[in-house]
Structure 1
Amino acid sequence: MQSKISLFKTLRRRRLPEGPKLICLPDENASTVSIQIWLPAGTSAEKKDEAGLAHFLEHMIFKGSRNLGVGELASRVEAAGGDINAYTMSDATYYYLACLPETAEDCLEMLADAVWWPRLDQTEADRERGVILAEIDRSMDQPDQVLQHRLFEKAYGKDHPYGWPIMGSRRAVSGFGRRELRRFHSRCYAPSRSIVAVSGRVDMSAIRGVLREKFRAEGELPSSVRQSRRIHVPAPRPVGAAPRLSILRERSGLAHLVVAYEIPSFTDTDAPALEVLAMILGMGESSRLYKKMCVETSLMHEVSAENFFSLGAGLLFLGGTAASGQAASAAEMIVRIGREIVRTSPATPEELERVRLNFLSDMEFRREGLSGYARIAGYAELLAGDARFAEVYLNRLMKVGAKEVSRVAERYLRPEGATSGVLIPLNAGGGATRKELLRGILRGFSEENSEASGPTGARKKTGTAARERGEALASRLGRRGPKRVRRGEREVVFRLPGGARLIVQPGGVARVFAISVVCLGGQRLEDKKRAGLHYLMSNLAAQATRSMDSDKLAGRIDGLGAVLEGFSGRNSIGLSGSCISPVSDELIEIFIGVLTEPAFSQGDLSLTLREIRAERRSDMDDLSDVSRLRAMALLYGDHPFGRHPLGDPRALSRIDPRALRRAWRRCVVPGNLVLSVAGDVDPAAISKKLGRLLKGWTGRSLAWRPPLPPPPPVVPARGRSRRQVVEGASQSHIQLAFLGANFSDSRRYALSVLTTALGSQGGGLFWELRERRGLAYAVFASSEEGIDPGPVSFYAATAPEAEEEAVEVIHSELARVRESGLGQEEFDRAKAFLIGEHLRSLQRAGAKASEAAFDTLYGLEREGTDAFRKKIQAVRAEDVLAVARTFLAPEKGAMVRLGPPIRGRRRRRASR
C-alpha cells in the first residue's frame, strides 16, 4: 500500500477575526523569509466593462497608501534588503516579497497597509495608465503572447472573463479611473477572503500579532469590502465551430503553433491525470512530442505541453515553433501524438515513473526558494479552500496509472474541445492556408491514419517496480531533512587527480544536489571565424557520451527528475547539473561521462545547428534582446564581446565532430577546470567518488595551454548612437552601454551600487521614467564584469512618441550622478538591496555551486555572504561619484534605439 506523501513538513493555519487566513511554513534553517498576500481578484472577478481592472489595481497598490507615499513600499522593502513584486492571474492577484528575517514584521506591516488601505489617487492613476499601456504594447511585440491572447479569446469567447487579456485593451485601460478602482477594490480585496502565506525563518505568533495590531490600529474596512461575494466562473462559450482555428500574420522569425484542448478545473479529480498526460507528451527531450516533432521529423524547432488550470474550465496547450511551410504537417502530428496515447501507445511504466520523479523533484526544489513553497500553499488555499489540497493533488498524481492517462486523453483530446492557432511571420512566403491547417488537424484526429509514435515493442511488467521506486524516493525525501552541517564545515576545498580543483559546500534547507564544472573559454577566446564555437560545443557536449546516445541520455536525465546542461558565456564554458539528493550518485556518473567522453555525433551536431539557426531567425521576437546585442556590437566593435553569442550559423556549419572533439580536449583539461558541488552532500564522500571517476581521464588529458587573448576593448573616443527602424514594432527600445570594470578592478562594487541605485524599483532612473512620468514599463540598469571590461547598461522601453523624452531622462539622470553622486537615501538603499539580493541568491544549491566555481576559476577572493556584505558596506559615496565620472562620461557611451518610424513627438500632459 502506498504511503501518503507529506508536502509541507510544518504548516500552520489561523484565521484572524474579520481578517485574512494566515498560512505559516516555518523553517528555522532558512536564511530569508517569503511573504505573500493572495486575493480573489483576477480576471474572473471582472465584469466585461472592467477587463484589465484587476491588473490596473495591482499597479496602483504600489502608488501610495494610508501610511506610505508613492513608491515608498518598494523603496522601503529594498532598503530593508528585500525585493517585492506582484502578479495578476485569471483567478487571483498576489503580492510577494522576500526579505531578511529581522525585517519580516516591518515588511508585512507595510505590505498589508498597501494592499488593504491604498490611496488610489486619480493623478497617480493617470500617470500609471501610461506605464500599463507600455506593458500592453510590450506584449504586442511578443509573437507568443499575441497568439495566446487570440487562443484564449477563441476558446472561451469574448464574453467570458478568461477570453479577455489580463492587462485589458488600450481602450478599456484608457477609461479606468479612481472610481472604478475603488469599486473593484471594495468588491475583491476583502480581508476575510484573502490569504497571507509566509515561509522561512518566521514566528507564527509574531506574524499573527503584526496583522492583528494592523487591523486594530487602522480600523475596520468598509462593509462592502468585508462582505464581498464568492466568484462564479461561467462555462466557456467558444467562438466558431469545432475544431476552431485562428491564423495570424505578425512580425516574427518563426511560425508559432498551438493546439489547445478544453479541460476541467484545478480541483477536478481528472486534473492530476491531465498533469501526467501533459508531462508525458511535452516534458523534456525524452517526451513524445520532442522526440517525434524535433528529432525524428524535424517538423518543429521546439515543442512543449502545459496545462492552464483555474477555478473554471482550463486548457491543455500543445505547441511550439516551426518553419512556416511546415505548420499544417506539424499541427496534424501534434494532434495524432496526443490521440495515440488513447489506444495504440498507452503510457509506459518508465514514463509514469519519470513524471512522478520530476514532480517530486520540482516540489523539493521549491522548498529551496521558499517563495515557491509559499506560492503552492497560497494558490491551493485560494482556489481549493485548503492549502493541504496541494498534498491531496500530489498524492493523486503519484497514483495515476496508464489506464487513467488514456481515459483522460480519450475524454478531453477531442475535436469538439480543440482550439488551434498559428502565427505566421509577415515576411514568410506562402505558409499554410486555413484549409490546409484544418485538413491537417482533422487528419490527426482520424483513427485510420494513426501510427504509433510512442514507445513500441514488448512491454515489460515493470509498473510495480517503477511505482515502488517513486514511493521509496518520496519516503526518503519526507523522512528527514538535509544532512546537518557542523560549524566551520561550510566549504571544503580539495585537489583532484591531475590538479583539478573541487569546492564542496554542504547543507541547505532542501534535499537537493547541484554540481558545476567551469573552464576558461567562451566568447573572449573565439576569433571571428570561430564565433559561437563554445556555445555550440557546450550545448552539444551535454547531449550524449561515447557509451550513451542522446536519446538514452535524455531518458536517463528526465527519468531522474534531474537537469544536465552545457553553458557558454563571455569568459567561460562549462556544465551544470542538479537533482534531488537521493538520486545524486546516478547524476554524478552521467555528469562525469559527459565531461570526459562527450560524443559529438554528426546527428546531434546537425540537430543542434538547426536549432541555432532557428534561434537566430527568432531574434526579432524579442526586441529588448536585439537592442542589447546591437548596443554591444556598437560598444565593443571588433572585440569578441561585440559579436552575437550564438555566432554565425554559416560559419558553424563548416565545423565537424572531429573539430569539436579536438577543441573540447584542448579546453576541458584538469589544469583549466574547477568542479563545485553544493547541497545535501558529504564532502569526503563526494571527493573520493569524483577522484575515482576522473582518475583515468586525467592521465590521458592534455596540459592546459591558454590561447592568446584578444586585444582589450577600446573605450570610444566619442559617443556612438544608432536608431534602427523595425516595421510593425509597438514600442521603442533604448539601450545605452558603457565599458565597465574587469574582475580585478575593485571599483566594480561601486559600479554595482550605482546601477542598483538607478535601476531598482526605488531607484532614480526607475522613479523618473516609470513612477513620476509614466513613460516606461520596463526599466533596467546593470553592471557586469569580465576578464576584459564588461558592460554597464541602461535600458528602457517606451511608446515611440515618448522616445525622445525617455532618452532625455536617461541622459539627465546620468548627468545628475556624474555631477553630485547619489543621495544618501538612495545610496543606503542600494547597498542594503545588494546585500539582501546576494543572500537570497545563495539559498539555492545551484547558485552556490556556480558562484564558488566562477570565483575560483577567475582567481577571485571567495565571496561568501559575510565577505560580500563587507565589500559593499565599504563602498563610500565618493567612490560612486568617482566611478560615475570615470565610466559614464557621455563621450564613452554607445546608444542603440530600436523601434517603429517616429511619426510625431509625445504630447506633454496638462497635469505637469
Structure 2
Amino acid sequence: MMEIFKYINLALSLRFSQALQTMSISLIAVILGACQQTPLSFTPTQAPTLADFDTQPNLPQVENIYLPNEQPFIDVTPDGIAIPYQLQRTTSTTKNLSNRVSLVAISPTIPFDNPDILQVAFQEKARGLALAQADACLETFETRVTLHSINISLTCPASANHLYQLLIQFWQHDAFSESVTIDIDNIRRQLKLNKHLNAFSGAEIDKVWRDKLLGTTHPYNKSINNDALFDSLSLNELSQLQQRTFAQANWQLYLPNHAQTEFDIKQSLSHWPTRIHTDSPSHIINTQKPPQSRTLYLIDAPGSVQTQVRIGYALDSNQLTPEDITLSCRSLAALLGRSFSGRLYYDLREKRGLTYGIYGQCANAPLSSSIKFYGSTAIEHTGAFVVGILDHLKLLASTPASEGELVALKTYLIGDALLTQDNPSLSETQFIHQQVLGLDLQSIKAINLKLQVLAPSQLMQLTQQAFYGEPLIILRGDVAKISADLAAKLPDWKLEVVKVNE
C-alpha cells in the first residue's frame, strides 16, 4: 500500500513540475514579447482643411469695432529745464490707490550687452534692498527686459518721488560695488540654473532657431547667453556692465497722470546717477542673414516621445516696408496661429489630432523681424505635422482668405489691442516697443487704417512678400525614429543633424 502512495506522489510531482515549467515558459514568452518594439505606424498626409466663417443670417448684426488711435502716454517734458530723461504721463486721469512708476532704458539702434545678466542682477538687488530697507514698495519690483529696452517699475501707494528714488538706486554707480551687500554667487547660480532649465525643457531649440535664422554673428545672438561670463561673473564685471548700459541708454520716466502735482522734478535731478567714464560698447552691426535652403535641421534628443517643431521666416525689409512688416507679422501670426481660432489649430488639432496645440509668434525688432509657428507632435505624426504646416503656408500665399475669416481676424486683433489698452502694464510695454521701433503716432494710425480696410487680395500679397524664399525648419526629437518618415514625406529637403552649441 505504501508503494502505491509513493508512485501516486511521484506522478503528481512530475505533473506539477511539468505544469510549472509550462507556466514559466509562457511567462518568459510574454516578457520577451513585451520587450520587442512595436513598429511605428506613421501618419499619412492630407490636404488642408479650413473652417467655415460664414455667419447665420438670423444672428444679430454687430457694429464694427475700431482700433484706438490715442496713445496711452503723452510727453510732458517741461520746457526750459534740462532733464536726463523723457517724462511720460498716462493719458488716463483715473485715480488709483497705487501709483505706478517705471524707469526705462531704451537703445533703439544697437542692442544692450548681456541684458539677461542685468535682469537677474536687478532681481537680486531688489531682494537685498527689500531685506535691508524694510520698504514694502520694493516687494512690487518688476523688471521687463528685451534686447533694446530695460524697464524696472514699482506699483505702490506711495508718492511718485519716493518710488522714483527707490528705482534710481538700481542705476547708481555703486549699486553693485564691493561695499554693497550683493550675493554674486547667487546671481551666477541663477544664470546657470536658467541655462540648465532651458536645456531640460527643450527651449534650446529656440537658440538653434535664432542661430540659423540670423547667423551666429548677428548682434542679437552675440548679446545674450554669454556662458563664459555666467561662470566667471564678478561684482566688478557686473558693475562695469551696468555702467556701460547706463551710458548707452536713452531714458524715459513713466508716471501716472494724477500724480502730476506730487512729482518734484528738481528733487529727481538731485538723485540722478553721476555718469562715470566707461568704454563705449563696441558693436559691428552686421545684420546680413544667412540664406535659407531646403535644409531641415534636426536636434537629436534620443528617447523623446514627441517632436518639437519650429517653422517660419525672417521678414525681408526689401520686400516689405516697416509699416507692412508690423501689419503682416501680427496678421499672419494671428490668422494661422491664434490658438483655438487659427487655421493651424483648427486643422492639425481639431480635425486631424496631430498636436495638442500650435501657435504663431511675431518677433518685430529694429535689427530683425520674423514670424514663427511652433508646437509639438507625437513621433508618429512628425512628418505629417511638418507637411501640414508647410501646406497651410503655401495655401495662404496662393488663395485669398474668405471675407468671413478676414472679419474674424480683424475682430481678434482689434479686440486684443483694446484689451491691451485697459491693462496698465501691457499698455506700457506696447508703448515702449513702439518707441524702440521708432513708430510715431502717424505711423501707428496708418497701420491701424491698413488693418481696418485690409482686403483678401491685399492679405494674400502681404503673405507672398512675408513668406519669401524658403522657410526655416528646426525639429527637436529622436532622429533615429523620425528621419525615415521625414525623408519620405519631404523628399526635396535635406536632413541635417545639428548640435545646440555648434
TM-score (norm 2): 0.71
1:792 aligns with 2:371: yes
Q: Report the aligned-residue RMSD.
A: 3.9
1:652 aligns with 2:191: no
Distance 1:656 1:560 in 2: 28
Q: Secondary structure at the match of 1:736?
A: strand
Contact 1:713 1:788 in 2 (8 A): no
Distance 2:410 2:255 in 1: 29
Distance 1:704 1:504 in 2: 33
Q: Secondary structure at the match of 1:842?
A: helix
Q: 1:575 to 1:717 in 2, by over 3 A?
A: closer
- The match for 1:563 among 120, 137, 140 is 140
Q: Secondary structure at the match of 1:577?
A: strand
Q: 1:873 to 1:766 in 2, by over 3 A?
A: same
- The match for 1:628 among 206, 216, 219 is 206
Q: 1:704 to 1:618 in 2, by over 3 A?
A: closer
Q: 1:776 to 1:670 in 2, by over 3 A?
A: closer
Q: Secondary structure at the match of 2:481?
A: coil
Contact 1:670 1:701 in 2 (8 A): no
- The match for 1:830 among 375, 390, 409 is 409
Name the structure 2 match of 1:753: 331
When structure 1 is superposed on structure 2, of 694-703 and 875-884 the one drifting more is 694-703
1:599 aligns with 2:189: no
Q: 1:864 to 1:637 in 2, by over 3 A?
A: closer
Distance 2:255 2:446 in 1: 20
Residue correspondence of structure 1 range 265-414 to structure 2 within 5 A: none
Residue correspondence of structure 1 range 420-439 to structure 2 within 5 A: none
State the Cα distance separating 1:630 from its structure 2 match: 1.9
Contact 2:172 2:274 in 1 (8 A): no
State the Cα distance separating 1:612 from its structure 2 match: 0.8
Contact 1:713 1:789 in 2 (8 A): no
Distance 1:694 1:721 in 2: 55
Name the structure 2 match of 1:882: 461
Distance 1:518 1:651 in 2: 25
Instruction: Provide, for residues 583-602 of structure 1, a one-character-per-residue CA deviation record: whole Å limited to 9, x for no partner.
Output: 65543321122233562246
- The match for 1:685 among 252, 262, 273 is 262
Q: 1:504 to 1:642 in 2, by over 3 A?
A: closer
Paired residues, number: 416
Distance 1:729 1:861 in 2: 47
1:516 aligns with 2:102: yes
Contact 1:501 1:674 in 2 (8 A): yes
Contact 1:497 1:694 in 2 (8 A): no
Q: 1:830 to 1:774 in 2, by over 3 A?
A: same
Name the structure 1 match of 2:85: 500
Residue correspondence of structure 1 range 602-621 to structure 2 within 5 A: 603-621=182-200
1:721 aligns with 2:296: yes
1:672 aligns with 2:255: no
State the Cα distance separating 1:850 from its structure 2 match: 2.6
1:590 aligns with 2:151: no
1:534 aligns with 2:107: no
Q: What is the one-letter code of the residue matched to 2:394?
A: A
Instruction: Provide, for residues 63-111 of structure 1, a one-character-per-residue CA deviation record: whole Å limited to 9, x for no partner.
Output: xxxxxxx9789x98xxx9xxxxxxxxxxxxxxxxxxxx9899xxxxxxx
State the Cα distance separating 1:522 from its structure 2 match: 9.8
Instruction: Provide, for residues 112-169 of structure 1, a one-character-per-residue CA deviation record: whole Å limited to 9, x for no partner.
Output: xxxxxxxxxxxxxxxxxxxxxxxxxxxxxxxxxxxxxxxxxxxxxxxxxxxxxxxxxx
Q: 1:862 to 1:522 in 2, by over 3 A?
A: closer
Instruction: Provide, for residues 808-835 of structure 1, a one-character-per-residue CA deviation record: whole Å limited to 9, x for no partner.
Output: 1101000111212433222222122111
Q: Secondary structure at the match of 1:544?
A: helix
Contact 1:515 1:846 in 2 (8 A): no
Distance 2:109 2:174 in 1: 21
Distance 2:466 2:443 in 1: 27
Q: Secondary structure at the match of 2:287?
A: coil
Name the structure 2 match of 1:870: 449
Q: Secondary structure at the match of 1:643?
A: helix
State the Cα distance separating 1:856 from its structure 2 match: 3.0
Contact 1:639 1:711 in 2 (8 A): yes
State the Cα distance separating 1:491 from its structure 2 match: 3.1
Contact 2:356 2:377 in 1 (8 A): yes
Distance 1:734 1:507 in 2: 46
Q: Secondary structure at the match of 2:243?
A: helix
Name the structure 2 match of 1:551: 128
Instruction: Provide, for residues 251-280 of structure 1, a one-character-per-residue CA deviation record: whole Å limited to 9, x for no partner.
Output: xxxxxxxxxxxxxxxxxxxxxxxxxxxxxx
State the Cα distance separating 1:800 from its structure 2 match: 0.9
State the Cα distance separating 1:651 from its structure 2 match: 3.2
Which stretches in structure 2 are left out of the alignment for 5+ residues? 1-49, 487-502
Contact 2:292 2:469 in 1 (8 A): no
Q: 1:905 to 1:793 in 2, by over 3 A?
A: same
State the Cα distance separating 1:723 from its structure 2 match: 1.7
Q: Secondary structure at the match of 1:712?
A: coil
Contact 1:856 1:862 in 2 (8 A): no
Contact 1:502 1:674 in 2 (8 A): yes
Contact 2:124 2:187 in 1 (8 A): no
Distance 1:557 1:745 in 2: 47
Residue correspondence of structure 1 range 698-717 to structure 2 within 5 A: 700=275, 707-717=282-292
State the Cα distance separating 1:711 from its structure 2 match: 0.7
Distance 1:645 1:667 in 2: 12
Q: 1:647 to 1:620 in 2, by over 3 A?
A: closer
State the Cα distance separating 1:516 from its structure 2 match: 2.8
Name the structure 1 match of 2:25: none
Q: 1:795 to 1:815 in 2, by over 3 A?
A: same
Q: 1:646 to 1:789 in 2, by over 3 A?
A: closer
Q: Secondary structure at the match of 1:860?
A: coil
State the Cα distance separating 1:579 from its structure 2 match: 1.9
Name the structure 2 match of 1:20: none
Q: What is the one-letter code of the residue matched to 2:151?
A: L
State the Cα distance separating 1:805 from its structure 2 match: 0.5
Q: 1:879 to 1:598 in 2, by over 3 A?
A: farther
1:736 aligns with 2:319: no
Q: 1:881 to 1:756 in 2, by over 3 A?
A: same
Contact 2:99 2:156 in 1 (8 A): yes
Residue correspondence of structure 1 range 841-880 to structure 2 within 5 A: 841-862=420-441, 869-880=448-459
State the Cα distance separating 1:807 from its structure 2 match: 0.6
- The match for 1:894 among 455, 459, 472 is 472
Q: Secondary structure at the match of 2:293?
A: coil
Contact 2:173 2:274 in 1 (8 A): no
Q: Secondary structure at the match of 2:147?
A: coil
Name the structure 2 match of 1:167: none
Q: 1:732 to 1:844 in 2, by over 3 A?
A: same
Q: 1:590 to 1:102 in 2, by over 3 A?
A: farther
Q: 1:662 to 1:706 in 2, by over 3 A?
A: closer
State the Cα distance separating 1:670 from its structure 2 match: 8.8
Distance 1:852 1:730 in 2: 41
Distance 2:208 2:355 in 1: 21
Q: Secondary structure at the match of 2:366?
A: coil
Q: Secondary structure at the match of 1:668?
A: helix
Larger relative contact order (Cα-Cα within 8 Å, sequence gap ≥ 6)? 2
Q: What is the one-letter code of the residue matched to 2:410?
A: K
Q: 1:902 to 1:793 in 2, by over 3 A?
A: same
Name the structure 2 match of 1:575: 151
Work out the percentage of aligned pairs sharing the same amino acid: 15
Contact 1:821 1:884 in 2 (8 A): no
Contact 1:577 1:591 in 2 (8 A): yes
Q: Secondary structure at the match of 1:600?
A: coil
Q: 1:613 to 1:522 in 2, by over 3 A?
A: farther
State the Cα distance separating 1:566 from its structure 2 match: 3.7
